Amino acid sequence: MHVLVCGGGGYIGSHMLKKLAAGGVELSVLDNFSTGHREAVRWGTLIEGDLLDPASLERAFAGRRFDAVMHFCARSLVGESIAQPYDYYANNVSGTLNLLQAMRAHDVRRLVFSSTAAVFGQPVSERIDEDHPKAPINPYGASKLMVERILADAASAYGLRSVALRYFNAAGASPDGDIGESHQPETHLIPNVLRAALGSGPALKVFGDDYPTPDGTCVRDYVHVDDLAQAHQLALAYLDDNAGAHAFNLGNGHGFSVREVIAAAQAVSGQEIGYTVEPRRPGDPSVLVASSEKARRVLGWSPAYTALEPIIASAWRWHRAQPY
């Protein structure tokens, strides 16, 4: 099998490359490195290109036969999407359309798409399953939901087989510590908490302590990046026998508050981690916790990491080794 991984220089994409390579899959990697890292592309053949440039996509597909595409390219910062919605719709929607058109032109009929829990907006139930109302409250979530609709239409019109995987909060690092999470700027909680513990990052800020949650801080469902990669492998296999457009929610099913994450990081690192409380950020729901029962039942997905401290411990091993 030959898989094109779009965005393989990114956090989840690089972990996906590692897992696919371990399974003997032939890999090509498309990335423009606007946010990804060249050093993270350790597996596969690199094709530098941009989804917003149809000519570079044509070069990527020409002369190669891909059995499937995994699509991780996206702009993904909620606050930035509110400030720069045009950029998000251009990159996440128009870029994906360009990719889909290139796939159709070259008869590539299977896609695993990186979606997000942000398609749901404010939760109306304790656990969010696939049937939960979809009412995104920021352009990032709206752009991903638009792509999901495009994939459904593509299934009907062109026979494209696809799976959209709606991640909750991706976290952790490869257990052997060779790849991990690095963004510029870093906006994700766990790496910012750990960098604060190391004294290598900015002062830690907690955005809002007046949410309707037990301790007033946002509650999120943290799912380990290796478990996400496993779900992608299962989704790709699922498309062998299942036509149409499908969607699955991916989380560990447990919610942890910002303050609980800080406490767990203190336990793992042995460091006291101070923080200041800032006003809420626009577009942040108070609670996002997944029901992943469908992924478990249909895909056979069984996440290895369900407790918070082992997830943070894997990230801590990677961050401690970085030359900050």
Of 148, 141, 140, 168, which is closest to residue 247 (Cα–Cα)? 148
Question: Within 10 A of 55 (CB to CB), how many other CB atoms are there?
Answer: 9
**Interior CA angle at 280 toward 276 and 285, to 5°?**
125
- CB neighbours (10 Å) of residue 126? 9
H-type alpha helices, the chain: 11-22, 54-61, 78-83, 85-88, 95-105, 139-158, 189-198, 225-238, 258-269, 293-294, 308-320
Number of DSSP helices (H) and strands (E) in the chain, helices first:
11, 14
Q: Two tokens at 278?
A: 């800032």
β-partners of residue 115 are: 166
Kindly report the backbone phi and psi dihedral angles of residue 195, in degrees, each rounded to the nearest multiple of 5, phi listed first. -70, -35
- Pair type for strands 26-31 and 161-167: unpaired
Residue 114 tokens, joined: 């990186």
| Cα–Cα distance, 251 to 223 (Å, whole number) | 5
Any catalytic annotation for residue 305? no
d(CA 259, CA 256): 8
Contact 180, 313 (CB under 8 A): no
Residue from 88, 89, 140, 305 carrying the catalytic annotation? 140
110 by DSSP, 3-state: which?
strand
Catalytic residue annotation: 140
